[in-house]
Amino acid sequence: MRTVTSFFGVLIGAWIVQAIHPTLALQLPGPPWNWLLTTGPVGLAASLAWWRSEHPLVRGLGSASLAIASLLSVAATCWPIAVFPVGVDAPHWLNWFGLADPLSSLPFAIAMAAVAINLAVSLGRRLRCGPDRLRFTILHLGLLTAILGGAAGHGGLIRARFIMEEGAKPGDAVTAVDGRRVRLPVALCLDDFVLDRYAPMLLVAEADGSLFRGEVLIGSGAHDLVRGLQIEVTEWLPSAAVVADRPVPFSEPGTNPAARVVIRDVGGGILGDGWLHPPGPYGSELFLALPGGRSLHLDEPRPQRYLAKIRADGVSHEITINHPLRVDGWAIYLLSYDESLGPASRTASFEAIEDRALPAVYIGLGLLILGVLMHLWKPRMAGDRV
Amino acid sequence: MSTVAWWMEAGAVLCWLVAGIAAVRAIRRPGRSDGCYRWLTGLGCLLVVTLLGWLWLALDRPPLRTLGETRIWYAGLSVVAGSLVAWRLGTTSLRLPMLIMGILFLSLNLVFPQALDKTLMPALRSPLFVPHVVVYLLSYAVLGISGGMALWRFIRRHPDPDLPFRLVHAGLPLLTLGLCLGAIWAKEAWGHYWAWDPKETWALLTWIAYVALIHGERGLRERPRLALGIIAGCFVVVLMCWFLVNHLPSTAVSVHTYTRE
C-alpha cells in the first residue's frame, strides 16, 4: 500500500508541475536514446524483481494495487482526448490542469512509466517463481512489449505527408511532419488516380431540416419508397452536366448522374415530376420542392473504392486504403484525394511512415492474442491470482 | 428492405418476450418443463440469424456498418453467448438478463428503424472488418449480461458477484482481442496502430476499467455490493465507447464517425 501512496504522491507532484508549466511537453528522443530510455529502466526493474523477488519494494512495485492505481492514472490523464477535440477546439480550462496536450504531459508519462514498471516487476517475479499461470505471463509480456515498442517507436518514428499529381516528375524527397527533409528509399510518381463510386441514392429533406436517405441505388427504372413518397425514375443520365437548369449528357471524369423522377403519394396521386442532379464540378444541384416544405434530392454518389497507380523506381504498384506499399522499412499509405473534384481528381495525398519499432509492437500484439486464446481455452478459476 | 427487417426484429422480440415470461414462470414453479422457454429463445435466435444472413446477401456487404445493424448483432449475440455460458456453467440465472438485453437492443431498432443500403466506405473493405467488430460485439454482449445481472443483484440486495465476475472473465479477453485486431487493421488502413482517436481512447478506457476490476477482484469479493456496483458501472463505459461517444464534442475529430449513420 505504501508503494501506491508514494506513486500517488509522485503523480500529484507531477500534476502540480504541469499545472504551473502548462506548456511543458515531453517527447522521447530519437534512436538510440528512445530504446535506452524505455527498455533500460524496465529491464532493471525486471532484473531486480528476479533477483530479490520477495523484497517489500519489489512486492509493492509488482502488486495488483499498483497495477490498478497506474492504469486508473493513465485513464485519468488521457480522458480529455476522449471527450474534447483536443488541439482543435478544446476548452480553455484544460490548460489550468495542464491537460491541453495530455499525451505529452508529465502526469501521463509518470502513469505510463508506472504501468511499465509494474508489468516488468510482475514479470520478473513470475519468471523467478516458475511457469505457473503461463497465460497471464504471456499476456503481461505481450502488453509490456507492445507498450515498449509503441513508446520507443514514437521517439524514432518518421512520418511524412505529401501530395502527388498525375504526370509529375518522380521524386524521393519529402518533408516530415517535424519539418525535416527526408529521402524515401525510392523515387515515386503518380501515374493514375482511380475513384469508383456507387450509384447515388435519394434524399428527402423535411421542413424541419432532418434528412432521410433512400435505400435503393438509383439507376434506370429504379423505384424507391422514402418517407411515404413513391419515387420512380423515368429517365436516367449516368453522366451529365447541368446547362441552363437542364441536365445534358456529358462524359468526363467527375460528372454526376442525373435522374428524372415521378413522385407519387401513397394513394398514387402525382406530387411532382422533374430532374434531380447532385451538385458537382459540372453543374449545380437540381432538386424538387414538394408540398409541406419538403424537398427531394439526389445525394452525391459515395466512394466505393479508390486506388493510386504509382511507379516506384520504374516499377508499377497499386495502393489502396487497406493495402499500403512497403519498401525498405517504409510503408506508403494512400490517405485521400481532392474530394471537391471527386473522380476528376488528378492528385492524391499519401503518408510515408518509417517505424523501426513496429516488429516489437506486432510481437507484443501477437503475444497478447496468444494469451487471450489460451485464456479462452482454459478459463480462469474464481479466486486465481491475476 | 427495412420493412422486412423491422417485422423480423419484431418477431424475435415477441419470441423472447414470451420466452422471458416462461422463464419467470419456471423460476416461480420449479420442476416444470422449460420447453417453451427453450423453443421460443431458439426461434428468436433463428429469426435474428436469418435476418443477418439475409441482410448480408441482400446488401452485398457485412451488415455491420451502422449502429442499427450492430444492435441486431448485439441482441443476437447476447442471447446466443448468454445461452452458451449458462450451459457451460450449468446455471439458469442468465436467462432473464440475456433476454432483457436482447429485447432492449432489438426494441431500439423497432423504435428507431434505420434505412439499409448497399454502400460501404473504402476503409471498411478489409478482411479484419468482420472479426474486429464481431469480437467486440461479442465482448459487449457478455459484459452487458454481466453488467445487467450485477445491477439487478445490486438493486435486489442479493450481493453475490460470482457470476458477474465469471462473465467479466469471459468478456475481457474478447475485448482485448478486439483491441488487438483493431490496432492491426488501423496500421494497415491508416498507418497508425494507435492514433488516440476518441473512439480508440474510449476503447482503452473500457479496457482499463475491466482490467482494473479483475486486478481488484480478490478485495472486491469481500465487499460484494461494491463489486456489483462497479461491475454495473463498467458497462456504462462500454456504452460510452459503443455509441454515446457519438454525442461528445470529440466525435468531430473522429475517423469512426460512420457509426453515427
Task: Write the pLDDT tens digit of every residue in B39-92.
Answer: 999 999 999 999 999 999 999 999 999 999 999 999 999 999 999 988 888 888
Q: Is the dihedral of CA A174, B185, B121, A253 positive or negative?
A: positive
CB contact under 8 A, B165 and A382: yes
Report angle CA A81, A82, A85 to the nearest 5 degrees.
50
Please name the residues between 102 and 141 in chain A that touch chain B, using a CB distance below 8 Å.
103, 139
Predicted confidence band of residue B200 (pLDDT cuts 50, 70, 90): very high
The answer to whether residue A78 neighbours chain B at the CB level (below 8 Å) is yes
Structural element, H or E, at residue B137:
helix B129-155
- 3-state DSSP assignment of residue A371: helix
Q: What pLDDT score was predicted for residue A382?
A: 46
pLDDT band at B257 (very low <50, low <70, confident <90, very high): low
What residues contact A278, with CB distance under 8 A and at least 6 apart?
A: A200, A256, A285, A297, A298, A299, A300, A301
Q: What is the DSSP letter of A217?
A: P
Can you tell me the distance from the alpha carbon of A130 to that of A118, in angstroms, rounded to the nearest whole number? 18
Mutate to test the interface with B, among A105, A215, A227 (most CBs of B within 10 A): A215
ipTM of the complex: 0.90
Min mean pLDDT across A68-72, A94-98, A272-276, B9-13 is at A94-98
Look up cell 527498455; give the residue: A39
Q: Write b or e for each residue in B166-197: b if 16 or more Cβ atoms lie within 10 A of its Cβ, otherwise e.
A: bbbbbbbbbbbbbbbbbbbbbbbbbbbbbeeb
Q: A83, B250: Cβ pair inside 8 Å?
A: yes
Per-residue confidence (pLDDT) for residue A379, from 0 to 100: 59
A345 CA to centre of own chain: 23
Mean pLDDT across the stretch A255-263? 93
**Residue in B227, B229, B175, B181 with CA at minimum distance from that of residue B202:** B175
E strand map for A255-383: 256-264, 270-276, 288-289, 295-298, 303-312, 315-320, 325-327, 330-337, 347-354
Check pLDDT > 80 for residue A89.
Answer: no
Task: Pick the range with the lowest mean pLDDT from A29-43, A82-96, A329-343, B236-250.
Answer: A82-96
- Calpha distance B92→B25 (Å, rounded): 13
Give the confidence band of A386 by pLDDT, cuts at 50, 70, 90.
Answer: very low
Q: Which residues of B touch A150 (CB under 8 A)?
A: 193-194
What pLDDT shows up at residue A97? Answer: 67
Torsion sign (Cα): A196, B122, A312, A174: positive
- A172 in reach of chain B (CB within 8 A): no
Interface contact A177, partner B, CB < 8 A = no
Interface check for A339 against chain B (CB to CB < 8 A): the answer is no
Q: Does pTM surpass 0.80?
A: yes
Crossing angle of helices B129-155 and B162-190, in 10° steps, is 150
The yes-or-no verdict on residue A370 having pLDDT over 80 is: yes
Q: What percent of chain A has pLDDT over 90?
A: 48
Would you state the cell numbers that stand for residue A65, as one nine-digit string? 494495487
Nearest to A168 by CA among A140, A187, A147: A187
Q: How confident is the model at residue A129 (pLDDT cuts 50, 70, 90)?
A: confident
**What value, to the nearest 5°, has the Cα angle with vertex A153 and ends A148 and A159?**
160
**Pair A193, A308: CB distance under 8 Å:** yes
What is the overall mean pLDDT for chain B?
A: 91
**Whether the predicted pLDDT of B207 surpasses 70:** yes
Closest CA to B189 of A306, A284, A149: A306
